[in-house]
Amino acid sequence: MLPNPAAKKEPIALRDMGSFHIGGRIVEVTGKPVREVVFAAGGTPAKMDPNGPYQVEQMYVQYFFPATRKGKYPLLMWHGGGLTGVTYETTPDGRDGWLNMFVRKGWDVYVSDAVERGRSGYPSPDIWPSSPVFLTRANAFERFRIGAGPGSWNPDPAKLKTLPGSQFPVEAYDNFVRQNVPRWLDSDKAIVAAYTELVQKVCPCVILFHSQAGGFAFRIAQEHPDKVKALVAVEPAVPGDPAKAAALKNVPTLMVFGDYIEQDSRWPTMRAKDVSFGDAIKAAGGSVDVVDLPKVGIKGNSHMLMMDKNNGQVADLIQDWLVKKGLVE
């Protein structure tokens, strides 16, 4: 979907916007043969010596600061696996994403691309010998509770087996597929290092995170609870370390889950692990709110809550919780 410049929206007034890269390390490559490469079609081959120092594992961060700040702390938005910060921008069908919504609500928002994804770049095979994985056009449809599980996707839109009542903008599903990027399966350490550096630089903050980023945000908050004023866990695929649950006793935590969890093959187990982790935080004296959206009357949400047609309603629910926690001026 393309932007519609004629669409009537409230203007967004920013006191600043921009981006930076953070973190990473320098790796020296040695002993590799010089290659011959042709940089432009028809050009003369040039010698390319791959040996030398490389900057790797840095992370891209884009920020938007509203003219009138109301969130007491910056709000960091961390995406899930195989995706980038685009997750929080415009929805696949061209509506405002949570980035715009929370900037409009007065939050200083930082959106990042985890290490090795999107604008963060990725290291050469000389440095990371493993390979990333690539997902088929059908994968997210069947796995993210848009369709009714394996076999529900079909190249013919008329034959898609979409979950009844789904709020996902199915007519724009292929625009979501376009947002997918390759992902490595052994990059957690580098990702955590870069996010940790971000937290140390721009926090205290609130971290809103999705799916795979549960494995990063919970653990980083457990290591640096003084830096984190609240955690908003949107269908975290991975909980924190239960043995260190007490570290989060002063970090109010909201967990949000969408619809169709019970009928999914994987989500009942993942949700149970998250809830059990939340129980451990509560047992240590912490505050954890688990919201199953269907139970509060918000139905039809896929795993991509921030893109669903009712994404504004879910954003409002999160904002209400942040207000209740005293995080909004």
- C-beta of residue 98 within 8 angstroms of C-beta of residue 124: no
SS3 state of residue 97: coil
Q: Which of 70, 162, 177, 290 binds a copy of itself (CB under 8 A)?
A: 177
Do 211 and 235 touch, CB atoms closer than 8 A?
A: yes
Subset of 205-224 contacting a copy of itself (CB under 8 A): 212, 215
In the bound complex, what is the minimum distance in angstroms from residue 35's beta carbon to a copy of itself? 8
Instruction: Kindly tell me which of 176 and 257 has the beta carbon lying closer to a copy of itself.
Output: 176
Query: Applying CB under 8 A, what is the total number of residues that bind a copy of itself?
Result: 84
Residue 18 vs 165, nearer CB to a copy of itself: 18
Least Å distance, CB 285 to a copy of itself, is 29
Residue 317 corresponds to which tokens in the numbers above? 């629910």
Q: Are 103 and 59 in contact (CB under 8 A)?
A: no
Q: Which of 73, 76, 80, 108 binds a copy of itself (CB under 8 A)?
A: 108
Residues 127-156 interacting with a copy of itself (rule: CB under 8 A): 131, 133-134, 136-138, 155
Give yes or no for residue 32 binding a copy of itself (CB under 8 A): no
Q: Rule CB under 8 A: which of 254-283 touch a copy of itself?
A: none
Interface with a copy of itself in residues 57-76 (CB under 8 A): 58, 60, 62-65, 67
Q: Which helix (H) or strand (E) holds 320?
A: helix 311-324
Q: Is 158 in the site for a copy of itself (CB under 8 A)?
A: no
Closest by alpha carbon to 104, among 79, 77, 71?
71
What's the CA gap between 292 and 289, in Å, rounded? 10
CB of 2 to a copy of itself, least distance (A): 6
Dist. CA 117–CA 99, nearest whole Å? 19
Exactly one of 25, 34, 38, 262 binds a copy of itself (CB under 8 A); which one? 38
CA-based R_g, the chain, Å = 21
* CA–CA separation, 114 and 61 (whole Å): 9
